[in-house]
Chains A and B, each alone.
Chain A
Amino acid sequence: QVTLKESGPGILQPSQTLSLTCTFSGFSLSTYGMGVGWIRQPSGKGLEWLANIWWDDDKYYNPSLKNRLTISKDTSNNQAFLKITNVDTADTATYYCARMGEYFDYWGQGVMVTVSS
């Protein structure tokens, strides 16, 4: 059974760095072809892909946010991480992690993050 769960700070201030953790089970990020992606969704709005990391440590980023994003993984602990630097109120959203190949086949429940002074 594949499960993913996101965790994060809940609230942070503008200019801070947002650190998110995705803890998963039922698959391994050391297995050929496996990947984990991060997607966010501001309240009442659509989905935005942020970044992916793959079994071979290959990484891809949304070009519009690339300079602010860092994705990483801890294979032994079945975790993936996303850092977003210099956050702004526009980064307020629900953040999801999802297992992926060409598409996202299992999703976490999401974690709400609010950026506010």
Chain B
Amino acid sequence: EIVLTQSPTTMTASPGEKVTITCRASSSVSYMHWYQQKPGASPKPWIYETSKLASGVPDRFSGSGSGTSYSLTINNMEAEDAATYYCQQWNYPSWTFGGGTKLELK
């Protein structure tokens, strides 16, 4: 089973700041997917197939990576971006999630 490790676990960012969240896989994966979750709500697909933005996601978000290292980047942090972000991969026959990165507004 592939284990996903996210870093940092928690972080704060000021409005306008650039934010990068990293997800490392214990073995190579083809794609990484990302979800955003706010308190009391279900996770929302945010970035899929490593770099494609889900419907409605602002273009200040981007995703990149390959092999065992992937990242989600926010250019110009906004208040509404404060949330927990999870990475997720599929590698037959298992789906796994990272532990999450809680992003707070400074």
Judge if A47 is at the interface, Cβ distance under 8 Å: yes
Establish whether residues A107 and B44, one from each chain, have CB atoms under 8 Å apart when the complex forms. Answer: yes
Residues of chain A with a CB closer than 8 A to B86's CB: 46-47
Q: Which of A46, A49, A104 contacts B99 (CB 8 A)?
A: A46
Establish whether residues B99 and A108, one from each chain, have CB atoms under 8 Å apart when the complex forms. Answer: no
Chain B 23-48 per-residue mask, 1 if CB under 8 angstroms from chain A, else 0: 00000000101010000001111001
In the assembled complex, the Cα of A60 lies from the Cα of B48 at a distance in Å of 21
Q: Which of A49, A105, A108 contacts B94 (CB 8 A)?
A: A49
The residue of chain B having its C-beta at the shortest distance from the C-beta of A63 within the complex is B1
Residues of chain B with a CB closer than 8 A to A105's CB: 45, 48, 54
**Interface size range on A against B:** 10 to 19
Interface SS of chain B: strand
Establish whether residues B96 and A49, one from each chain, have CB atoms under 8 Å apart when the complex forms. Answer: yes
In the assembled complex, the Cα of A47 lies from the Cα of B88 at a distance in Å of 10
A29 to chain B minimum Cβ distance, whole angstroms, is 17
Judge if B93 is at the interface, Cβ distance under 8 Å: yes
What number of B residues sit within 8 Å (CB to CB) of A? 22
Establish whether residues B1 and A104, one from each chain, have CB atoms under 8 Å apart when the complex forms. Answer: no
Residues of chain B with a CB closer than 8 A to A104's CB: 33, 35, 43, 45, 88
Residues 38 to 63 of chain B near chain A (Cβ within 8 Å): 42-45, 48-49, 54
Q: Which of A37, A52, A60, A108 contacts B42 (CB 8 A)?
A: A108
In the assembled complex, the Cα of A48 lies from the Cα of B99 at a distance in Å of 9
Q: A49 with B97: in contact, given A102-B90, A103-B33 (CB under 8 Å)?
A: yes
Which are the 10 A-B pairs with shortest beta-carbon distances? A103-B33, A107-B42, A47-B97, A49-B95, A46-B100, A102-B90, A46-B99, A60-B93, A103-B48, A105-B45
- Residue pairs across A and B with Cβ atoms less than 8 A apart, 10 shown, are A47-B86, A47-B100, A48-B97, A49-B95, A102-B31, A103-B49, A103-B90, A105-B45, A107-B44, A109-B42
Further 19 A-B residue pairs, CB within 8 A, beyond A47-B86, A49-B94: A39-B97, A46-B86, A46-B98, A47-B43, A48-B97, A52-B95, A60-B93, A62-B94, A63-B94, A96-B43, A102-B48, A102-B90, A103-B49, A103-B90, A104-B35, A105-B45, A107-B42, A107-B43, A109-B42
